[in-house]
Structure 1
Amino acid sequence: MLSGVKESGRDKLFLICNYIYVFLAFVIVFYPLVYMVSASVSDPKLVGSGEMWLWPRGLTFDGYKRVFDNSNIWVGYGNTILYTVVGTAINLAVTLPAAYALSRKDFVGRNLFMGLFMVTMFFGGGLVPTYLLVKKLHLVNTIWAIVLPSAASIWNIIVARTFFQSNLPKELQEAAQIDGCTNMRLFVKIVLPLSMPIIAVMALFYGVGNWNSYFSALIYLNDADKYPLQLVLRQILVLQEMSAQGGGAMDASTAAALNNKAEIAALVKYAVIIVATLPVIAIYPFLQRYFVQGVMIGSVKG
């Protein structure tokens, strides 16, 4: 508030409501994070019984030890890094040139192409035709089945196009053409260096999406040594669920073995979630300033 301006009762009530809302939003976001970290270093029996609900209890690092000793998890980690790096590079190589071309008013037929692109946002061929296409191209059980079908997001192309329209004046293009600059050189030497905010935003969007993706791998990959980390985590969750539901007509030793396996799976599950999330959390602070600037310019203006 400006100095010397008296707040009315409604202003104070509005401010109090804002503080309450922000506090509740903080609790809703913060609690699951604290719970995951605490559960990853707590006794799985206490976690499963609900005795551990916030802070660690029965401190143990067996979950992280098992993660570091499990070769399947590290193979999945390496595969995820590979799929994320290659996939994000392909995403940017497709999205940025397409968005820039569609932002140029001298591009003949840009409205037609934009309309065709937008149709795909509302209508799709479905899973079966997509699988048949990937199989026909001999991409099944390869990295290309993971990164090529999702090479571009129409929504991201629209956001990037809006950024180019709002931040690259036409005079810049005209000046480059007068100096004899080709369209390709203009894009590489001038447009891209001036577009770091939207490049960072697109890299973050695509990178997080590729990092968390598991459905494409579930459909197209057959070899376990090509599974990404998220699919390995899914297998751990399925194992825990099957062990938990394995009770019934069985002797005490078998039931105890299944229960122990479920506890180990639960412990490893929380540890893997933390390990899988850390890279994204570590990278975000370096892209935060570009992220805020790029999203606001790319989605509000134009």
Structure 2
Amino acid sequence: MTRHEAIAAAIAPLRRRDGSGIRPGTTAADLPAAVLLGLPVLVALIGPLVAGTGEPPPDSVALPSQPPGAGHPLGTDVLGRDVLSLVLRGGSSVLGGTLAALLLSYAIAVPLGLLAAGTRRPLDETVMRALDLLLALPGLMILLTLAATGRSSSGWLIAVTAALQLPYVARLVRAAALAPGCRTVVEALRMQGRGWAYIHLRHLTRELAGPLATDAGARFSGVLYLMASANFLGLGLPSSSPDWSVLIERNSDALFTQPAAVLVPAGLLMSLCVGGNLCVDRALARRRTAG
């Protein structure tokens, strides 16, 4: 066997079955990311059905901060409620609130970014400078201010979190829309008589799908962190909520006597964050290799 034949035989397992290039990923590499992301998502989606949301929590018959035992596989929290039931019911608010804030921010920021990229400079400067004002406002400080005025609810938390993401997403959209490749296609479509809505809302939005997907994967973790921090500080959901971040805050004093009440919801939050990032990284790696 010659030297070139030996090299070809060594790299053969790494190639696609059709011989077109390197495999973008393997099942073994994708499995940890899928498990880390899938576990908290399944708990959030199926948990309320399994736990039975219509049943009252068993806080009237159980002692507080009890370790795992008969009838309570994960023990009880500081209020005597079954931790397993709370964990199963608490993921929907985490996942739903994070996705709602993320989708709301993109629904507003994408048109603003396209507007700034497709207009003359005075309007462009006005839009971007107005959004830049949000960059100087700390997120938790705004939530603390709203809480002091009595506006501490899940709706306000989602709205403020989405508003804080606007300048970042709008800047990304504007920069991507002003790229030379995009501008060349835009000028060609203008010469064909296409209108602003067709060019920006149809063509450019499709071209920006890749950068937006990449940004959404990374931004998901930031939104999750901000909303979990706000709920942990009592700035969003009420203290009786089964939300995972609220459970961590309520049971933090009982960490050493009843660690499951803190470590289980904290582990699910960490798994959701890490798994989401890993899945995005794997998807981008496959796309780069395929390209």
* Fold shared by both chains (TM-score > 0.5): yes
Q: 1:112 to 1:233 in 2, by over 3 A?
A: same
Provide the residue aligned with 2:135 in structure 1. Answer: 121
Q: 1:74 to 1:127 in 2, by over 3 A?
A: same
Q: 1:185 to 1:132 in 2, by over 3 A?
A: farther
The answer to whether residue 81 in structure 2 is matched with residue 66 in structure 1 is: no
TM-score by length of 2: 0.58
CA-CA distance at 1:133 after TM superposition:
9.7
TM-score by length of 1: 0.56
Provide the residue aligned with 2:93 in structure 1. Answer: 79
Provide the residue aligned with 1:263 in structure 2. Answer: 257
Provide the residue aligned with 2:26 in structure 1. Answer: none
Unaligned runs of 5+ in 2: 1-67, 76-81, 287-291
Provide the residue aligned with 2:146 in structure 1. Answer: 131
The answer to whether residue 158 in structure 2 is matched with residue 150 in structure 1 is: no
Residue 235 of structure 1, aligned match among 241, 247, 250:
250
Per the alignment, in what secondary structure is the counterpart of residue 170 of structure 1? Answer: helix
Per the alignment, in what secondary structure is the counterpart of residue 224 of structure 1? Answer: coil
| Max Rg structure | 1
Once residues 181 and 228 of structure 1 are traced to their aligned partners in structure 2, the CA distance between those partners, rounded to angstroms, is 49
Per the alignment, in what secondary structure is the counterpart of residue 192 of structure 1? Answer: helix
Per the alignment, in what secondary structure is the counterpart of residue 263 of structure 1? Answer: coil
Per the alignment, in what secondary structure is the counterpart of residue 181 of structure 1? Answer: coil
Deviations 1:191-243 (A, max 9, x none): 12211232113312332123232343322433623x63222222221343xxx
Q: Provide the aligned length of Structure 1 versus Structure 2.
A: 207
Q: Report the AA paired with residue 198 of structure 1.
A: P
The answer to whether residue 124 in structure 2 is matched with residue 110 in structure 1 is: yes
Provide the residue aligned with 2:278 in structure 1. Answer: 285
Q: 1:205 to 1:110 in 2, by over 3 A?
A: same
Once residues 267 and 291 of structure 1 are traced to their aligned partners in structure 2, the CA distance between those partners, rounded to angstroms, is 35
Q: 1:199 to 1:164 in 2, by over 3 A?
A: same
Give the helix-richer structure, 1 or 2.
1
Once residues 194 and 149 of structure 2 are traced to their aligned partners in structure 1, the CA distance between those partners, rounded to angstroms, is 40
Q: 1:103 to 1:238 in 2, by over 3 A?
A: farther
Identical counterparts, % of pairs = 10
- On the 8 A contact 1:83/1:210 being kept in 2, the answer is no
CA RMSD of aligned residues (A): 3.6
CA-CA distance at 1:80 after TM superposition:
0.5
Provide the residue aligned with 1:216 in structure 2. Answer: 230
Per the alignment, in what secondary structure is the counterpart of residue 200 of structure 2? Answer: helix
- On the 8 A contact 2:239/2:250 being kept in 1, the answer is no
Q: Report the AA paired with residue 213 of structure 2.
A: A
Q: 1:215 to 1:271 in 2, by over 3 A?
A: closer
Residue 273 of structure 1, aligned match among 259, 266, 277:
266
Q: Is 117-126 or 95-104 further displaced after alignment?
A: 117-126
Residue 171 of structure 1, aligned match among 180, 184, 192:
184
